[in-house]
């Protein structure tokens, strides 16, 4: 049985069988989630958010994930390299901090230009 994994804000979806981790699903869907440890729960770069009502669509956190994330798990944060799919789920992928800073600066400049005219 296949499940639909949707990555937000990209709004890209992919259908996969249960047991695939979110990092692999993202790569197959063409969604970039940064990582340095190649899926070993060491770098914490692949944090994603899942809404509370959809957490049951993922397997429970691994021991490594529990140690690394602690109370962040309660807020719906998961490590994409560790969180395995067991149902359809929407996953919020945080924006890269550098890209976010550049986007905000460009938006400010555009607003200033709009205000000028």
Tell me, rounded to whole angstroms, the distance of Cα 4 from its chain centroid. 15
Look at residue 110 in the predicted model and tell me its pLDDT.
Answer: 86
Residue 116 has pLDDT above 80, yes or no: no
- CA torsion, ordered 19, 73, 48, 87, to nearest 10 deg: 30
Look at residue 58 in the predicted model and tell me its pLDDT.
Answer: 97
Written out in words, the top-level CATH class of the domain with range 2-116 is alpha beta
Residue 13 has pLDDT above 90, yes or no: yes
State the average pLDDT over residues 19-26: 97
Predicted TM-score (pTM) of this structure = 0.82
Helices (H), ranges, 30-82: 63-69
What per-residue string of b and e applies to 11-37 under the rule 16 or more CB within 10 Å gives b?
eeebebeeebbbbbbbeebebebebee
Residue 112 has pLDDT above 90, yes or no: no
Percentage of residues in the chain having pLDDT higher than 70:
98
Confidence of residue 117 (pLDDT cuts 50, 70, 90): low
Contact 5, 16 (CB under 8 A): yes
State the average pLDDT over residues 106-114: 84
pLDDT digits (tens, 9 = 90+) for 59-98: 999 999 999 999 999 999 999 999 999 999 999 999 877 8
Residues 91, 32: Cα–Cα separation, whole Å: 13
């Amino acid at each position: 049985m296949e499940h639909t994994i949707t990555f937000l804000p990209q709004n890209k979806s992919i259908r996969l069988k249960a047991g695939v981790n979110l990092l692999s699903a993202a790569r197959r869907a063409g969604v970039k989630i940064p990582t340095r440890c190649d899926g070993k729960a060491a770098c914490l770069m692949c944090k994603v958010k899942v809404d509370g009502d959809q957490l049951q669509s993922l397997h429970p956190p691994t021991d490594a994930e529990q140690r690394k994330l602690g109370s962040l798990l309660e807020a719906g944060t998961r490590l994409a390299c560790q969180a395995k799919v067991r149902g359809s789920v929407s996953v919020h992928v945080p924006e890269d901090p550098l890209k976010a800073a550049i986007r905000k600066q460009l938006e400010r400049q555009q607003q200033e230009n709009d205000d000028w005219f």
